[in-house]
Amino acid sequence: MQYLVYSKAGRSGVAVVVASGAVDVRDIDAQLPCELDDIIAGGAALSARIGSLAANYKGAVMPLVSLTPRFPLSRPGNIICVGLNYAGHAKEGGHEIPTYPGLFMRTPESMAAAEQAIVRPRESEKFDYEAELMIVVGKGGRRIKEADALEHVFGYTCFNDMSLRDYQRKGAQWLPGKNFDGTGPVGPVVVTADELPKGAHGLRITSRINGTTLQDSNTADLIFSVARCIAIISEFATLKPGDLIATGTPEGVGYPRKPPVFMKAGDTVEVEIDKIGILRNTIIDEA
């Protein structure tokens, strides 16, 4: 099942994507939650009920083109990012292949929605792109065993971990370059785990600027798998429903290229992951 959190003509809600468009869950059943956060918290039984109701829905369907995507969560929790999780990306940046993942956090304010115009901060022109698979945690826990970790996944979505490279390298920690407001678009849909290969394994992941492909890899190349990431992170942190885990970007980012490629005003930037969708944003300069 694919969930789309949207706005349309002053209305906002959660829709289920169907063959001919999208259906708001409240149109299916007025008693259903109106936020994806609450659907996630409701567990597998609630999501299965929504899927069954949507499959048998006979009412009006909204065209997808009429809906503006919103950030999927109204109350985002922890946003944990894994760095250097593809061997090719580690090598292109001059790093050793890690034996333990590099981890950093993003703030909720640093996130953005699909189709939203992304403001390139005036502090830097080294504004880079990073296509990533993002995990949406469905069931919380601490010290989750790797063998059990996929039971804790609600679904997956696309993420562009846009990064200000010079700010990323101002100190030992990457946090400044990863947390400028509105620089981490997510979406447009969240695809439930049951619709994808186990652990979202074997999915092609690409990024494009103005139609030119710059990254082209596969989630099979993750150094630390989805299950391993969850197990490692939950060793030290309690995961909760609605937490987000970004799994890292493959080779092909802009800064190691000769000459470097950075995003600029007017660019259309896309992240595409097989079976999940296309995350698209335009870049504008800060006023």
| DSSP string across 194-240 | GGSSGGGTT-EEEEEETTEEEEEEEGGGBSS-HHHHHHHHHHHS-B-
Residues 19, 117 share a domain: no
Last residue of a domain, one of 38, 69, 100: 69
Residues 48, 144 share a domain: no
Residues 22, 132 share a domain: no
- 177 belongs to a structural domain: yes
- 125 belongs to a structural domain: yes
- 202 belongs to a structural domain: yes
The list of the chain residues with pLDDT below 50 reads: none
Residues 175, 53 share a domain: no
Residues 30, 166 share a domain: no
- 230 belongs to a structural domain: yes
| C-beta of residue 203 within 8 angstroms of C-beta of residue 133 | yes
Residues 271, 138 share a domain: yes
Residues 30, 8 share a domain: yes
Last residue of a domain, one of 26, 49, 69: 69
Residues 212, 118 share a domain: yes
From the CB of residue 258, how many other CB atoms can be counted at a distance below 10 Å? 5
Q: How many helices (H) and strands (E) does the chain have?
A: 7, 19
Angle at 185 between CA 146 and CA 91, to 5 degrees: 60
Strands 79-83 and 244-246: parallel
Residues 108, 202 share a domain: yes
- 143 belongs to a structural domain: yes
Structural domain including 25 reads: 2-69
Q: What is the number of domains present in the chain?
A: 2
Residues 157, 23 share a domain: no
Last residue of a domain, one of 14, 35, 69: 69
pLDDT of residue 88: 87
Structure tokens belonging to residue 37:
């956060």
Q: What predicted TM-score, i.e. pTM, was given to this entire model? A: 0.96
Torsion of CA 25, 42, 158, 224, to 10 degrees: -160
pLDDT of residue 168: 86
H or E element, residue 55: helix 43-55
| C-beta of residue 226 within 8 angstroms of C-beta of residue 135 | yes
Residue 45 DSSP class:
H
Residue 230's domain is classified under what CATH number? 3.90.850.10
Instruction: Look at residue 158 and give its three-state secondary structure.
Output: strand
Burial of 147 (0-12, 13-18, 19+ CB in 10 A): exposed
Residues 202, 109 share a domain: yes
Residues 144, 29 share a domain: no
- 74 belongs to a structural domain: no
- 47 belongs to a structural domain: yes
